[in-house]
Amino acid sequence: LKSLLSRPDLVCEKAFIRGEWVSSAVGKTFEVTNPARGDVIATVADLSRAETADAIQTAEDARHAWAAMTGKSRAQILRKWFDLMMENQEDLAIILTAEQGKPLAEARGEIAYGASFIEWFGEEAKRVYGETIPGHMPDKRITVIKQPIGVAAGITPWNFPNAMITRKAAPALAAGCSFIIRPATQTPLSALAMGKLAEEAGVPKGVFSVVTSSAASDIGKEFCENPHVKKLTFTGSTEVGRILLRQAADQVMKCSMELGGNAPFIVFDDADLDEAVVGAIACKFRNNGQTCVCANRIYVQAGVYDEFAAKLKAAVEALQIGDGLTEGTALGPLIETAAVEKVRRHLNDALSKGGEVLTGGNAHELGGLFFEPTIVTNATKDMLVSTDETFGPFAPLFKFEDEDDVIAQANDTIFGLASYFYAKDLSRVTKVAEALEYGIVGVNTGIISTEVAPFGGVKQSGLGREGSHHGIDDYMEMKYICTSV
Ligand code: ADP
């Protein structure tokens, strides 16, 4: 891996706490593998719960001076961090693809997207406005100020090893909090490279730490039970989100949760079918289907069902599959064996209930963690895929007749993160956008992620929003000061 980089020192194998690069006290490590080839690309420090407590103590010590700086001073450091990430975009993208598998073009996009949160929230640091409220009595003056919540701890998944971290770290640091991240075991290298650049940007010691550890639940417990931690921010499955919320309840800790989705993608009969196909490819097959906003259920109105299916089939069959580091690759491998098994489980279940393979349906000839992008027609709501997120390259096509019926089907889930639909009729567009019980609705687009908009889910898809001017509020407390004059 190092030989591919102009800055080999961005591959870091030690954890980053106290502003120092540390090994585990007992010399424990875990291996990072390249999912496209299966070879070990790094051996990373495996920290314990006690070492995590140490990182939290330093974050606690560091936060006061950081919070006391002006927003502008913090913004200048964040700007530098952003600039360094963009200067090293290519190296960061290669590291990301090597540990995660996504095509290099997508990895470059993720670095730019990830960095954009640092730029955005750095700018927001200067605009954390309070409020004055006319007093309720002649002698009373009321002021509202916002203050950083304190030490914030984050736990992130492997599907966006860079951007899931910056969406949390950037608003935390902008607000004046110190921040500790525990990246996913599969993808610690992107997080550590960010630590390296944070150090170079002048982020003070202890303000940004990266705790690498294979002991996810131990670290999660420390984050929830350590009294210095005032905020927990998590992206991952709803299942683990529930565990963390329960644990965080003992300290009544403020939590942000970006959890699972089960995104519907609806194609109405007045849609531009070519655009709908482009959108479906982008949102179903990006990152090989491994994003929480990927379309999971594709509903197509009866009158355009066959035509849409044929066009989607042609587009899917044109996708190039291979090692993400090979230029031109559109689909990389899945992250691990369990992910391949889940795709197979959903596929077999669909086939046993009347689904028919339109294209794909098998392990890819490249072997390993590669699976053919698959479309199944005749999907029905008794199939596993209608209630459970596949997180892989499996596109089930459901046929529907009626607008109200498809809205009801789309909403018939415990999840509520992203949803998409294609239509042209203005009143239909307005009605459906308002009726979908989701935090995010893409209308005639399959790509909805941007740092300027509030990203987050309703129902069991989560709590809180990341990005936009709202995103910093999750790292601040409001204080109301009542002065008698
Ligand atoms: P995914 O399927 O995307 O891996 P998970 O919810 O299983 O989703 O994992 C998301 C992150 O949470 C990963 O970094 C994982 O290591 C971590 N994690 C898993 N279980 C726990 C737990 N009990 N406590 C804290 N973190 C956990």
Taking residues 222-238, what's their average pLDDT? Answer: 98
CA of 236 to the centre of ligand 1 (A): 6
**ipTM, 2 dp:** 0.98
Q: What is the pLDDT of residues 54-68, one digit of tens each?
A: 999 999 999 999 999
For ligand 1, atom 19, which residue shows the shortest CA distance? 216
Mean pLDDT within 111-127: 98
Nearest CA to ligand 1 atom 22: 217
Q: What would the pLDDT profile of 5-36 be if each residue is shown by its tens digit?
A: 999 999 999 999 999 999 999 999 999 999 99
pLDDT tens per residue, range 328-377:
999 999 999 999 999 999 999 999 999 999 999 999 999 999 999 999 99
Give 241 Cα–ligand 1 centroid separation in angstroms: 8
Q: What is the CA(184)–ligand 1 centre distance, in A?
A: 7
Ligand 1 atom showing the smallest separation from residue 184 Cα: 14
- Global pTM value: 0.97
pLDDT of 475 reads: 98
**Nearest-CA residue for atom 17 of ligand 1:** 216
- Ligand 1, atom 2, residue with closest C-alpha: 237
Give the residue, out of 32, 44, 155, 164, with the most ligand 1 atoms within 8 A of its beta carbon, to mutate for a pocket test: 155
Based on the number of CB atoms within 10 Å of its own CB, is 50 exposed (0-12), middle (13-18) or buried (19 or more)? exposed
Q: Please tell me the distance between residue 260's alpha carbon and the centre of ligand 1 in angstroms.
A: 12
Per-residue pLDDT band for 245 (boundaries 50, 70, 90) equals very high
Report the nearest-CA residue for atom 15 of ligand 1. Answer: 184
Q: How high is the mean pLDDT of the chain?
A: 98
* Catalytic residue annotation: 258
CA of 396 to the centre of ligand 1 (A): 27
Best residue among 100, 159, 214, 240 to mutate for probing ligand 1, ranked by most atoms within 8 Å of CB:
240
Q: Which residues line ligand 1 (CB under 6 A)?
A: 155-158, 184-185, 216-217, 220, 236-237, 240, 243-244
Average pLDDT over residues 189-207: 98
